[in-house]
Amino acid sequence: MPPTNGNTRCAYEGQESLYRLLKQARSLKKGRQVQELICENGFAGDLFLAAHLIRMFTFFRSLPEAQQVFNSLSNPSPFVWSAIISAYTHLGHPFQALDLYVRMQQKMNSQPPNEFVFISVLKASGKVANLHVCKFVHAHILESCMESKITVANTLIDTYGKCGHLDDAFHIFSSRTARDVVTWNAIISAYCQHDHIDQAFCLFEQMQEEGLERDSATWNVLINAHALRGKCEDALMLFNMMMAEGVYPSQSTFASIIMHVCSSMPYLKHGKNAHVLIVENNLGTDCIVGSCLINMYSNTGSIENARLVFDRIKHRDIVTWNSMISGYVQHGYGHLAIQLFVQMMEAGIKPDNYTYVGIVKASTSVGALDQGKWVYSLATEHGFESDEYVASALIDMYGKWHRLTDGSNVFKRVTQPNTVTWNALFAGYAQHGEIKEAWDIYLSMRSKGFAPDGVTFICLLSACGHEALIEESLIHLESMHKVHGVEPCFDHFACMLDIFGRAGHINEAMQLLHAMRSPGHDTIWRSLLSHCKTHGSLALGRQCFDKLTAMDAGDSSSYVLMSQLCMDAGEWEEALKLEAQRKSLDARKKPGMAFIEINNQVHHFVTGDLSYPAEGKPRPKIKMLKTAMLQMGYIALIDSVIK
């Protein structure tokens, strides 16, 4: 307890000083040091400081320590209860927050909750979107005569909106004589959340008519609503209107416009303009905005710019690291993703499930078995082994390396597998032609009550493709929509085309291609050209080649495949002509990139790469592999190589 008996002023000043120190804590370590000072100075039971300690631990996402502070109090005040309820809500545990509210009701019958408690518990109700809980809390608010409090009314509007009860939300809104900007933002947001954009816009205009100044949060709601629904032009128009009205974009505005609008090529120039404004307003080092910029540049093919943004962020959070790791994986730079992951660990940042998913994919992409095992051990150590998404990535990794038993063992440890986990296991066996085992997994998945989705059918078609089972494939393709309600998409038809191609039914593959809704994808035509090469279909191969060059005359792979087809058919003159044409168009082959793992370190190199010295680690290993290949009968077809 704090000092008493004549020392009240000193105690008050001590409390104020400790409170200021808490507010100034910029890290969890500093916050813990202030907590030690609080205890050393006899303020361990001070309810005001306890509430702010809980809020500090919540800010640094340390829920166990927040709970410890709460548990140390024999008689928490409503202010402390609101802090711990808010902690559980904010950190993703709304049901536990509601349980705490019930406990509070039982322990504090004589003392009604204050407005902060009601606000905290309403936010928890909004998180679970449970109307009955919302009405239960609303009844308590009416009993406590708290509905007149504008902060409580605003939160009620927001919660009813999240629960989908717009009539109740609007009733509270319209019954209020005093409304502030937050009140209007709450009702506009409620309508936007449920696709009533026109009504939201009417309220937006009515707000201006009533003389209320619309703030950045008001604009954010409408911008976000349009952006999330793919109405990018409208979102940009609102963004420009906001600027013209003199309301400057907030961190949330920039995050929304970059993440939902500018992360695709047609709108990249708008994203770059927004980036200039961000830098001008010193928001370039902000983690949330920075992460959105990293994603924008990664999604639009500029991984170098993404890294520049990453490097300028001084205090990176886990989302920032994950965004950069994901960007590297997305662009095929798995080795750089692994290097970044090591740097992240050295910086003391604790990985989350998104980190592990990204880094497992990175290990898979570079074929780094030892790295993958190391990541698996770390995931297990940090309790993510049974996370269905981490497990799915691990199963996929083992499947691609043909270590199917290891993948099955990971699957068995998942307590609640979902469709993604089942698909990962199914895909591993299907990809490697283990048809019986793959089919058993599919039947087991169905028996457990999991409905197949689009990915499941890709796995089924992939399994059929290994045996060129045309009839079975057509049955599965037809059953997708008729039996399971899954609409076949591009990938399913691509699988079917591949099955026809493998079986040598090139004409049927061509017929399917022409029947597709959007047959203009270069991947499809390139796949068919490859099958034409395998089965010596020169005439159809020429058709595929003409289609490919019409799409992209500068892509070298089409020329390489077609020239090889011509050489196999003995058409050397045509092959030489194709090579001359390729050179005249400057269609250059992208240098092949390879990876080799030695002593848990991934080395990467490209064709003609001389950056490694002769005595460097990879060279002896590569020579050994080359010798082993020759011993197994591999002979390079150098006579068919065109210079």
Q: What 8-state DSSP symbol labels residue 489?
A: -
pLDDT tens per residue across span 472-502: 999 998 899 899 999 988 889 889 988 999 8
Residue 587's contacts (CB-CB under 8 Å, 6 or more residues apart) are 553, 554, 555, 556, 559
End-to-end CA distance of the chain: 87
* Model pLDDT, residue 598: 55
Mean pLDDT confidence for 542-567: 88
Tens of pLDDT, residue by residue over 196-208, are 999 999 999 999 8
State yes or no: pLDDT of 607 exceeds 80.
Answer: no
Angle between helix 8-24 and helix 28-40 axes, rounded to 10 deg: 170
Residue 614 lies in a domain: yes
Contact 461, 499 (CB under 8 A): yes
pLDDT at 639: 47
- Asked if 338 and 359 count as a contact pair (C-beta separation under 8 A), the reply is yes
What is the structure's pLDDT at 236? Answer: 92
Q: What are the CB-based long-range contacts (under 8 Å, 24+) for 179-182?
A: 179/150, 179/212, 180/150, 180/154, 180/212, 181/212, 181/213, 181/214, 181/215, 181/217, 181/218, 182/150, 182/151, 182/154, 182/217
Q: What is the pLDDT of residue 178?
A: 87
- Tokens 């927001």 locate to 158
Give the pLDDT of residue 6.
Answer: 46
pLDDT mean over 514-525: 76
Per-residue pLDDT of 372-386, as tens digits, reads 888 889 988 888 888
In a domain, 549, yes or no: yes
Q: How confident is the model at residue 617 (pLDDT cuts 50, 70, 90)?
A: low
Neighbours of 228 (CB within 10 A): 15
Lowest-pLDDT choice from 93-97, 444-448, 615-619: 615-619
pLDDT band at 541 (very low <50, low <70, confident <90, very high): very high
Residue 157 has pLDDT above 70, yes or no: yes
* pTM to 2 decimal places: 0.70
In whole numbers, what is the pLDDT of the chain averaged over residues? 86
Q: Is 423 part of a structural domain of the chain?
A: no
In-domain check, residue 153: no
Which tens digit of pLDDT belongs to each residue from 201-233?
999 999 988 888 889 899 999 998 888 888 889
Question: Would 306 be classed as within a structural domain?
Answer: yes
CA 434 centroid distance within chain: 31
CA–CA gap between residue 190 and residue 183 (Å, rounded): 11
Element at 574 (helix H, strand E): helix 572-584
State which amino acid sits at residue 458: I
Query: pLDDT grade, residue 612 (50/70/90)?
Result: low
Task: Domain of residue 292: give its range.
Answer: 224-315
Range in 128-137, 465-474, 602-611 the model is least confident about: 602-611
Q: What is the pLDDT of residue 180?
A: 92
The proportion of the chain whose per-residue pLDDT surpasses 90, expressed as a percent, equals: 49
**d(C-alpha 57, C-alpha 31), whole Å:** 8
Contact 426, 434 (CB under 8 A): no
Confidence (pLDDT) at 592: 53
Question: For residues 520 and 622, what is the distance between their CA atoms, to the nearest angstrom?
Answer: 40
Query: 604: left (phi > 0), else alpha (psi -120 to 50), else beta?
Result: beta
* DSSP bridge partners of 602: 597
270 or 596, which is more confident:
270
Q: What is the mean pLDDT of residues 595-622?
A: 56
Closest CA to 183 of 208, 153, 206: 153
Q: How many domains does the chain have?
A: 2
What pLDDT does 602 receive?
58
In percent, the amount of the chain with pLDDT more than 70 equals 89
Instruction: Out of 296, 315, 334, pick the residue that ends a domain.
Output: 315
pLDDT tens readout for residues 113-153: 888 899 999 999 999 888 888 999 999 999 888 888 999 99
Residue 582 lies in a domain: yes
pLDDT band at residue 455 using 50, 70 and 90 as cut-offs: very high
DSSP letters along 26-51, please? -SHHHHHHHHHHHHHTT-TT-HHHHH
Residue 585: CATH number of its domain: 1.25.40.10
The predicted model gives 422-449 an average pLDDT of 92
Residue where one domain finishes, among candidates 283, 315, 347: 315
**What whole-number distance in Å separates Cα of residue 261 and Cα of residue 239?**
11
- pLDDT given at position 284: 81
- By the 10 Å C-beta count (0-12 exposed, 13-18 middle, 19+ buried), 387 is classed as buried
Of 363-377, 409-423, 515-529, 594-608, the poorest mean pLDDT is in 594-608
| Number of alpha carbons in the 13 Å side-chain half-sphere of residue 126 | 22
The residues, any chain, with a CB within 8 Å of residue 321's CB and separated by 6 or more, are 340, 344, 349, 355
Q: What is the distance, to the nearest Å, from the Cα of residue 82 to the centroid of all Cα atoms in its chain? A: 31
Kindly state whether residue 606 falls inside one of the protein's structural domains. yes
What whole-number distance in Å separates Cα of residue 415 and Cα of residue 357? Answer: 18
More confident residue, 338 or 602: 338
Task: Specify whether the CB–CB gap between 471 and 439 falls below 8 A.
Answer: no
Query: Which residue, of 262, 281, 315, is where some domain finishes?
Result: 315
Asked if pLDDT for residue 597 goes beyond 60, the answer is no
9 — pLDDT class (breaks 50, 70, 90):
very low
DSSP β-bridge partners for residue 596? 603
Check: CB of residue 323 under 8 Å from CB of residue 295: yes
Q: How confident is the model at residue 467 (pLDDT cuts 50, 70, 90)?
A: confident
Cα distances (angstroms) measured from residue 383 to each of 62, 306, 354, 390: 16, 30, 13, 11
Average pLDDT over residues 262-290: 89
Q: What is the mean pLDDT of residues 13-23?
A: 84
Residue 289: inside a domain: yes
